Amino acid sequence: MTKTESGQPESTAKTVDPPADSEIRVLNPATGEVVGSVPDTTAEQVVAAIAELREHQRAWQAIGADERKEWLLELQDWIIDNTEVLADVLQSETGKPRVDSLIDPIFGSDLIGYYARRAAKFLADEHPAPHSPLARVKRLTTVFEPYPVVGVITPWNFPLAMPLLDVIPALAAGAAVILKPSEVTPLSALELARGWAEIGAPPVLSVVTGAGATGAAVVEHADYIQFTGSTATGRRIAAACATRMVPYSLELGGKDPAIVLADADLDRAAHGIAFGGMFNSGQVCISVERVYVEAPVYDEFVAKLTANVKALRQGRDDRTPRNDVGAMANESQVGIVARHIDEAVAAGAKVLTGGKRTGVGTFFEPTVLVDVDHSMSCISEETFGPTLPVMKVADEAEAIRLANDSVYGLSATVWTGDKARGERVARALNAGAVNINDVFANLFNFALPMGGWGDSGVGARWGGPNGVRKYCRAKAITAPMLPTQERELTWMPYDLNKILIGLGAMRAAGARGMRRIDIGALLRLKGDNR
């Protein structure tokens, strides 16, 4: 790890500095106060940043996974040592409760440890077994080579964790990364860049702040795009990448269902679903956003859920944890939540608790809705807020049918006292992940893939080795195992007798039954009708 004679880092992460008159103000949504400002990076500056990353990426790839591991573990140390400061920054730009703000750095350090220590194994050359005896004359090798520059575009709901989810595996793979955080919450990403610089790591991580035009420039010039955000934006990114023939992975919207079966532990289900719907003010891609409850336990479950949600503490925290639910990210999200509730009530739904904004800033009360149906926006559209609409269903079959009645398919939860039943229902749901008797569990297991079906996205993050291999191009290499001849049997100019020998061997190795030794068929190929 090289440093200057003064002991300061020789190389740093880069942030791009546009003209001073081109800035974006960052607000604390809990108070409305300005907590910072960041540059609105131009497309030209994005191009220059990517060009510089390309120059340094080759050396980063060349040092190998083991040396990259050391740099990543240095970053892990830095994050752990600076957890309180990082939580302060998170709170300033999100209005999160203190407990929620501490999750990002701890979660991120766990992820770093997983991929830093395993990347060498995950990226090692593979030597697959040949598919037939004939192929054993070759040594087969698959090599994983990183895309030079990976573009990561992240949303505002977890402004430190979301970048780390994708930046770390990409760096571990040997790629350089250009990160464009949400313009709503860019300060935490800049802290990440500061940490990379302070440990003296090679300059293969650049953070560019800005709005839509900045993100579009990243999409236009990076070699691989990882985007997390809305389905509408994801579609535009997919179209742009397809035009350039550039690979991409999209984690988009969700409308995750929870199914509560009559044999469930209702106390656990009511606590788990309250947490799954209200954590981070419901602003989680895999939040519980609709609940289906079997009729025999519907009333009891709704009473327990409503009591749990009503008991949640809401407000602004300093460094002392006091509250469970904080502010929403911006006025736009508050408007969506209010519209969904108002439209549901107008159509006959009832609010059992919550239902309105409260206090200064963008706080919205944790809300439980009943008497809802699939004609209502609170069931059909992504809310991304602190609401839990609950429906009564006749049985398991109806619950599955309604849960699958959505354009989204990110994740789901099933609550039951019967493990076999839970597995059966989980397999019947159209979702990229299903947690039985739990919420968010898949998010903390990096060996599993995290990806959505339908309008919830394309591709997946993590999944053990695939988490780093997704940022690589797979290269196939064949090499002879035996001494080579001047000419192979099947090379031109053709010798029909030799060709028939080769075809016969291929048939014998790959076909079944008497077709393996059908000499007559080979003679017919030669034109001999005997």
DSSP state letters, 212-227:
HHHHHHHHHH-SEEEE
Helices (H) and strands (E) in the chain, counts: 17, 22
Q: What is the pLDDT of residue 150?
A: 99
- 322 touches 98 (CB < 8 A): yes
The rounded distance, in Å, linking the Cα atoms of 200 and 197 is: 5
Catalytic residue among 74, 93, 220, 251: 251
Does the domain at residues 256-444 carry the CATH identifier 3.40.309.10?
yes
Question: Among this protein's residues, is 251 annotated catalytic?
Answer: yes
User: Residue ranges per domain, the chain?
Assistant: 38-252+465-474, 256-444, 485-526
Predicted pLDDT at 242 = 98
Confidence (pLDDT) at 517: 82
Q: What is the pLDDT of residue 152?
A: 98
Secondary structure (3-state) at 65: helix
Give pLDDT, residue 375. 98
Return the pLDDT at 5.
Answer: 30
Contact at 8 Å (CB) between 169 and 462? yes
This prediction has a pTM of 0.93
pLDDT of residue 11: 38
User: In which element (H, E) is residue 25 found?
Assistant: strand 23-27
Residues of the chain with pLDDT under 50: 1-12, 18-20, 529-530
3-state secondary structure of 295: helix
Strand, helix or coil at 247? Answer: coil
Axis-axis angle for helices 64-81, 83-94 (nearest 10): 70
Active-site residue flag, 285 = yes
Instruction: State the residue for tokens 């953070």.
Output: 207
Domains 38-252+465-474 and 256-444 share a fold: no
Topology adopted by domain 38-252+465-474: Aldehyde Dehydrogenase; Chain A, domain 1 (3.40.605)
The pLDDT value recorded for residue 1 is 34
* Phi, psi of 207, rounded to the nearest 5 degrees: -110, 125
Q: What string of DSSP letters covers 252-319? A: ----EEEEE-TTS-HHHHHHHHHHHHHGGGG-STT-EEEEEEEGGGHHHHHHHHHHHHHT--BS---S
Write out the two tokens for 446. Answer: 């990096």
> Prior bond to 39 cis, omega within 30?
no
pLDDT score, position 17: 53
Among 241, 285, 378, 472, the active-site one is 285
